[in-house]
Structure 1
C-alpha cells in the first residue's frame, strides 16, 4: 500500500497540465465526535474584527481533529486503527486504540499502516513509530514530535516529511539537528517518536489553478493601482498611473527592499552635501 503518492492528471485544460496532488484514496475515514470540534477561521481578522491580513476568507467548513501531542499512555500497548487525513495539517494522522480503551489521534510516521502496533516505551525497543525518551533512543536516529521541555508535549518536527536527527547525548543533555539545520540542546528526559513524519511527497504537489487555493481560504489578490483611493494608496487616477513613486502596502508603509534603497540614496545625498559644505 502506497499512501500519499503524487497524482498527475490528463491535461484536458491548460491549468490541469501542471496540477499534481497527493493521492488520498487509500486513506480511511472515521467520525468520532469527542475527538473533533468545529474549526472557526479567523478570515484575516483580529480580536476586534478588523482586517489585519488581506486576501483571507471563504472556503468550506472544517472540523478540527484533536491531536494528542503528549506521551501520557506510557507502557500501554496500542494498535493503529486507521490512517486519516486532517485538513488543518500537512501530515497524516493515526487513530490509535490502546488496550485500556483510550482513543487518540497521533501524527502518523512514514511506513505505518492500519493494524500496526504502537507503544510508548521506557525500555530499549526502537521500531518505526514507537515513542520513548531521548536517553533511550540511539544516536543518529530520525525522530519527530520532539518535546522542547519534559512532559510539555511534542512541539518540534511535526510537518509533513520532516525529521530531526539525534546527534549525541552527554549526561543529561541531548544534541539535536532540527529540520531547519539548527542545532539545539535538550534534556534527555524529553520524549520523541522514532521515524519520519508521513506524507513525504507533500512538497512535490502543485495546485495549478486558483480553485485549489480558494478552497484553502485564499481570496484573489488585486493590484493596488486597480483599486479606489480609499482602499489603497496606489488607487485612483486615470488608466494605470499611480500617484505614488514608492511602492507601499495598503497601510502606506514601504514594502520590503524599498525602504533600504531609499535610505541608501538618502545617505549618499547627505554625504555629498557634507563634502560640499565642509571642504
Structure 2
C-alpha cells in the first residue's frame, strides 16, 4: 500500500517523547552480551498507547517511528484536547474516528475491543496476552491474527507464525492489519545506512587473529580447521553425538 506523503507529520509531539539511552548490547557490568549493536542516529522514544483502553478521537496523521518498523497514528481528542500515539493500522485515513474499548459489533478499522465483541473471522493486531496489560503480540508491520472461535471464557486466535493460541475473552485487540506491510522489501544501498540503524559489522571468525577467535590465524585463506565454535570455544551447532571409542594399548612385551 502506497502511503500519501501529505498524510505524514514531520515532527513528533514533545509531550509524548522522551530520551532513551541505548545499551549498545552491554550489561550492567559494561560487558558486551549482544554483539553487533551500537552507534546509530540519535532517537527519541515515542510514548505509545498499547493498552488501547481509553484513547479515542480523530486521526490527525501518520508519523515515522525510529524505534519500530510500523508507522504511528497521532490521535486528537477534541473533548479533552489531548494527543496520543497508537500503532497505525493499514488503510487508515486522516479524519477517521478511533475508539478504544468499544462494544460495537462489526469491523471498524483501528477500533480496539475485547475479544468477546470481535466477530470470528476478523483480522486483528495489537493483541495483549492477558487482560489489563500492554499489547505484546502482532505489532510488526503487516502483522495480523485471525479469530477462529470463541467460547464463554476463551477465544482461539491464529497468529502470524501459524501458531494457534487461546486467549482470555476479556483481552483487548485492535481491528485491522498493522501498517507498512512492504517494509521487508526495503533495500539498503550502502553500508552507512546499516550503521545509521545502529548495526555494527559482522566479521567471520576465520578472518580474525588467533587471539580473537579459535578459527583465526593461518597462512592465506583457511577454513578454520575445526568444527564451528563460538569465540569461547563452545560448539555452535550442538555437541558431538558420535561416541569415540578409546583404543586399548597394545600388550607388547619387550
Name the TM tier (shorter chain).
0.7 to 0.9
Deviations 1:195-248 (A, max 9, x none): 000001112222243222121111222232332332222233433347752222
Gap regions ≥5 residues in structure 1: 5-23, 275-279
Alignment match of 1:119 (pick from 92, 99, 102):
99
Query: Partner of 1:108 in structure 2?
Result: 88
Q: Distance in 1 between the 2:20 and 2:164 partners?
A: 35
Q: 1:90 aligns with which of 61, 69, 73?
A: 69
Structure 1 distance, partners of 2:138, 2:7, is 25
In structure 2, the CA distance between the partners of 1:125 and 1:243, relative to structure 1 (3 Å rule), is closer
Aligned to 2:232: 251
Judging changes above 3 Å, is the alpha-carbon distance between structure 1 residues 139 and 243 closer, same or farther for their aligned structure 2 residues? Answer: closer
Q: Deviations over 1:160-195 (max 9, x none)?
A: 001010111111111111111111111111111100
* Structure 2 unmatched runs, 5+: 249-254
- The number of residues matched between the two structures is 246
Query: Normalization by structure 2: what TM-score?
Result: 0.87
Note closer, same or farther for the CA distance 1:25–1:89 as it changes in structure 2 (3 Å cut): farther
1:95 Cα deviation from its structure 2 partner = 0.9
Q: Deviations over 1:234-276 (max 9, x none)?
A: 23343334775222222221122xx35xx24x32x44x979xx
Contact kept? 2:128, 2:173, Cα under 8 Å: yes
TM-score by length of 1: 0.80
1: CA distance, partners of 2:106 / 2:122 = 13
Distance 1:197 1:213 in 2: 24
Stretches of 4+ moved more than 3 A in 1? 236-244
| RMSD of Structure 2 on Structure 1 (CA) | 2.4
- Residue 251 of structure 2: aligned partner: none
Contact 1:236 1:242 in 2 (8 A): no
C-alpha spacing 1:224/1:88, structure 2 compared with 1 (3 Å):
same
CA distance 1:188–1:232, shift in 2 (3 Å):
same
Report the Cα offset of residue 78 of structure 1. Answer: 0.5
More helix by share: 1
